[in-house]
Amino acid sequence: MNRNDFEILNNNLIYLDNGATTLKPKVVVNSINNYLTKYSANAHRGDYDISFKVDTLYEGARDTVKEFLNASRREEIVFTSGATASINMIVDGYFKNTLKKGDEVLITKVEHASNVLPWFRLSKELGIVVKYIELDSNNEVTIDNLKKSITPNTKVISLAHITNTLGDIRPIKEITKLAHENNILVVVDGAQSVPHIKIDVKDLDIDFLAFSAHKMLATTGLGILYGKYDLLNNLKPTFLGGGMNESFDDVDKVFLKELPTRLEAGTQSIEAVLSLDAAIKYINSIGIDNITKHEQDLKEYAINKLKSIPHIKLYNKNTTSGIILFNVEGIFSQDVAYYLNKYNICIRAGNHCAKLLKDVINTNQTCRASLYLYNTHEEIDKLVELLSDKERILKEMI
Amino acid sequence: MDEETRREIIMSNYMQPVGKKDTPKDTSNYKMVNSKNDSCIDNLDIYVDIKDGVIKDIFFNGEACAISTSSTSIMINELIGKTTKEAINYINNFESMINEKEYNKEILGESLAYEEIYKQGNRKHCAHLPYIGLKKVIEEYEETNN
Ligand SMILES: Cc1ncc(COP(=O)(O)O)c(C=O)c1O
């Protein structure tokens, strides 16, 4: 789809590392370029034309995100520096002040480090207990298993919507329903879902959501923190400084602004915010459902071919998102990645920041090919062709 | 060294690495060092036995790519029996080679298989990996024994 919009693809690059970050279409590049060359002023500051323009565009981007997520209010959208920053702010700014010793948070062993380590630290600091929801035989979260994990002490469920390794899509709507019936809040790590599937925070009834702009065609340095207004309003800012305070005279006389500005201390990455505006409009012009379907088709196509190659071990045949996790038997994942790189194919090797996953799939390193709208059947054919000949891999990997 | 020879050396050391084995029960004579780097996922435990200034034995285990596994194997093959001084000289030459500086070809033996590894960006770190660990062990030994 839309390959001409991605200049980087002119060089026959086969980019299959979209879980790490995505390529940028021309409209995104232009949005940054325009900011840097035509109106590179700060937002919320000077009383002059280009600053007013930047301010308008910056706040316009917030509206674009709000519509994209179907949030109730624009104040529920906070710009951060990334999904990682968003999750850390949620944990340290909200849960650190509301949880107490013995309270339980439920995660899984498939979570990304950014949805594990902040909870681990809170466990050390407050004595909360981090528990893992048991996974089914497909390594997925089921409502039955979730029910079994919930105790009277469970206060938070914090899960990736789509995991960045197995690519399984968690039943968030059922999860939030069950959680809310038990007075449990749900934090959703949307880093791998918001770029790929329709997210309606109202319909899914999500309490907090975190994701990164760079994984959805925009540039790096920007994340989004969504929270239901009343929760977000009780989230203590991690950073204090310019832009977010109303006035201050003394230690006892510090007055902070309202949401969302209160949570955006200092100068944000303005060009990144404008690039996200362009990226979301671009995604909307294609239709997020069309992107989802395209990835599903490609994934199915790839799995059908790969599963007939005897030396390929697939770890997530059954999941429908565009992530393919595999190993070539007897060959170290990084050697496979180096081999494919010789043919201009980018995949990722390693543990993908999910270091607890080894307990689940019994290996701590895998190859990951992750898809997006611009990938094609021909690219999959090339990948399959290169992986089908093990002798060739052994010969060419060094 | 021509490309075919380099390939053969690397592959045979990768397929049948010298000194790769599970950790035995008694490692009291050995110093263990973990070698890994930020740019890749290789992760090696290297065990070194130095006595009277001579490297008596080295073995290793862990997970690593073809380049770092073969490089470790070659390192072990080349350096067992050498004095710590000779080993340091070897490592310095190896490091010069992968960093495109002047070095003494005569002493590097099979490690010359990596003479062009600098062309492959990240992979030079893989080839270098075992030497980071070994150097640390030798330097610690020298400090406590001098
Ligand atoms: C599931 C998941 N959560 C969180 C993150 C963190 O995103 P970022 O590095 O952009 O903060 C990632 C990125 O790899 C991810 O895949």
ipTM (interface predicted TM): 0.85
Question: CA nearest A338 in B: which residue?
Answer: B123
Residue B17 confidence class, pLDDT cut points 50, 70, 90: very high
Atom 7, ligand 1: residue with shortest CA distance: A83
Query: Within a domain: residue A21?
Result: no
Q: Is the pLDDT of residue B146 over 80?
A: no
How far is A217 from A215, CA to CA, in rounded Å? 6
Residue B41 confidence class, pLDDT cut points 50, 70, 90: confident
Domain match, A303 and A263 both: no
**E strand or H helix at B131, and its extent?**
helix B123-145
Residue A352 confidence class, pLDDT cut points 50, 70, 90: confident
Give the model's pLDDT for residue A203. 98
Query: Within a domain: residue A6?
Result: no
Task: Tell me how many residue pairs between chain A and chain B have CB atoms under 8 A apart.
Answer: 31
**How many angstroms from the chain centroid is the CA of residue A48?**
36
| Percent of chain A's residues with pLDDT above 70 | 99
Residue B122 confidence class, pLDDT cut points 50, 70, 90: confident
Q: Which residue has the higher pLDDT, A111 or B43?
A: A111
Domain match, A31 and A101 both: yes
Please report the atom of ligand 1 found closest to the CA of residue A220: 10
Residue B63 confidence class, pLDDT cut points 50, 70, 90: confident
Domain match, A206 and A351 both: no
**How many angstroms from the chain centroid is the CA of residue A379?**
24
In B80-119, the residues whose Cβ lies within 8 Å of chain A are: none
Domain match, A178 and A77 both: yes
At A170, which amino acid appears?
A: R
Could you say which DSSP state residue A168 is in?
P
What is the arithmetic mean of pLDDT over B50-59?
Answer: 96
Chain A interface with B: residues with Cβ < 8 Å: 332-335, 338, 349-351, 364-365, 394, 397-398
Give the model's pLDDT for residue A136. 95
Under an 8 A CB cutoff, do A335 and B66 touch? yes
- Domain boundary, last residue among A258, A285, A312: A285
Domain match, A209 and A140 both: yes
Residue B29 confidence class, pLDDT cut points 50, 70, 90: very high
Residue B120 confidence class, pLDDT cut points 50, 70, 90: confident
Residue A338 confidence class, pLDDT cut points 50, 70, 90: very high
Domain match, A76 and A156 both: yes
Domain match, A196 and A294 both: no
Q: Is the pLDDT of residue A351 over 90?
A: no
Give the model's pLDDT for residue B15. 93
Domain match, A325 and A357 both: yes
Structural domains for chain B: 3-145 (3.90.1010.10)
Query: Within a domain: residue A300?
Result: yes
Query: Within a domain: residue A2?
Result: no
A275 CB burial (10 A radius; 0-12, 13-18, 19+): buried
- Domain boundary, last residue among A285, A302, A335: A285
Distance to chain A for B50, nearest Cα, Å? 31
Distance to chain B for A85, nearest Cα, Å? 22
Strands A323-328 and A366-370: antiparallel
Average pLDDT value for chain A: 96
B47–chain A Cβ distance below 8 A for any pair: no
Distance to chain B for A333, nearest Cα, Å? 8
Q: Which residue has the higher pLDDT, B9 or A1?
A: B9
The tokens describing A3, both together, are 């390959």
Residues A368/A321, Cβ–Cβ less than 8 Å: no
Q: A314 alpha carbon to ligand 1 midpoint, in Å?
A: 23
Q: What is the CATH number of the domain that holds A370?
A: 3.90.1150.10
Q: A214 alpha carbon to ligand 1 midpoint, in Å?
A: 10
- Domain boundary, last residue among A285, A304, A322: A285
How far is A98 from A184, CA to CA, in rounded Å? 12
Q: What is the CATH number of the domain that holds A159?
A: 3.40.640.10
Contacts of B66 in chain A (CB under 8 A): 332, 335, 397-398
Under an 8 A CB cutoff, do B66 and A332 touch? yes
Distance to chain B for A334, nearest Cα, Å? 6
Query: Among partner residues A350, A397, A398, which is closest to B41 by beta-carbon distance?
Result: A350
Contacts of A335 in chain B (CB under 8 A): 65-66
What is the arithmetic mean of pLDDT over A353-373?
Answer: 92
What is the arithmetic mean of pLDDT over A5-15?
Answer: 96
Distance to chain A for B120, nearest Cα, Å? 10
Interface test with A, best of B37, B40, B41 (most A CBs within 10 A): B41
Query: Within a domain: residue A130?
Result: yes
Under an 8 A CB cutoff, do A334 and B42 touch? yes
Give the model's pLDDT for residue A355. 87
Q: A84 alpha carbon to ligand 1 midpoint, in Å?
A: 6
How far is B24 from B26, CA to CA, in rounded Å? 6
Domain residues for the domain of A34 are 27-285
Domain match, A160 and A231 both: yes
pLDDT in tens, A33-56: 999 999 999 987 778 999 999 999
The CA–CA distances, whole Å, from A305 to A14, A295, A368, A391, B8 equal 18, 15, 16, 19, 32
pLDDT in tens, A150-202: 999 999 999 999 999 999 999 999 999 999 999 999 999 999 999 999 999 99
Contacts of A364 in chain B (CB under 8 A): 63
Query: Among partner residues A350, A365, A398, which is closest to B67 by beta-carbon distance?
Result: A398
pLDDT-wise least confident of A6-20, A257-271, A336-350, B27-41: B27-41
Residue A213 confidence class, pLDDT cut points 50, 70, 90: very high
pLDDT-wise least confident of A117-121, A266-270, A349-353, B82-86: A349-353
pLDDT in tens, B82-102: 999 999 999 999 999 999 999
Query: Within a domain: residue A70?
Result: yes
Query: Within a domain: residue A86?
Result: yes
Domain match, A82 and A218 both: yes
Alpha-carbon dihedral angle through residues B4, B10, B15, B18, given to the nearest 10 degrees: 140
Q: Is the pLDDT of residue B40 over 90?
A: no
pLDDT in tens, A120-153: 999 999 999 999 999 999 999 999 999 999 999 9
Under an 8 A CB cutoff, do A338 and B123 touch? yes
Catalytic residues of A: 353
How far is A285 from A270, CA to CA, in rounded Å? 23
Query: Within a domain: residue A14?
Result: no
The tokens describing B67, both together, are 């380049």
Under an 8 A CB cutoff, do B40 and A334 touch? yes
Query: Among partner residues B11, B40, B42, which is closest to A398 by beta-carbon distance?
Result: B11
Q: Which residue has the higher pLDDT, B37 or B106?
A: B106
Q: Tell me how many domains chain A contains.
A: 2
Contacts of A338 in chain B (CB under 8 A): 65, 120, 123
How are the residues of chain A apportioned to helix, strand and coil, as percentages rounded to the nearest 5? 45, 15, 40
Atom 15, ligand 1: residue with shortest CA distance: A191
Domain match, A236 and A87 both: yes
Residues A153/A126, Cβ–Cβ less than 8 Å: no
**E strand or H helix at A106, and its extent?**
strand A104-107
Domain match, A102 and A189 both: yes
Residues with CB under 6 A from ligand 1: A 19, 82-84, 112, 114, 160, 164, 189, 191-192, 212, 223, 353
Please report the atom of ligand 1 found closest to the CA of residue A160: 1
Query: Among partner residues A333, A338, A398, which is closest to B10 by beta-carbon distance?
Result: A398
Indicate the top mutation candidate among A158, A164, A357 to test ligand 1's pocket, ranked by most ligand atoms within 8 A of CB. A164
Give the model's pLDDT for residue A44. 78
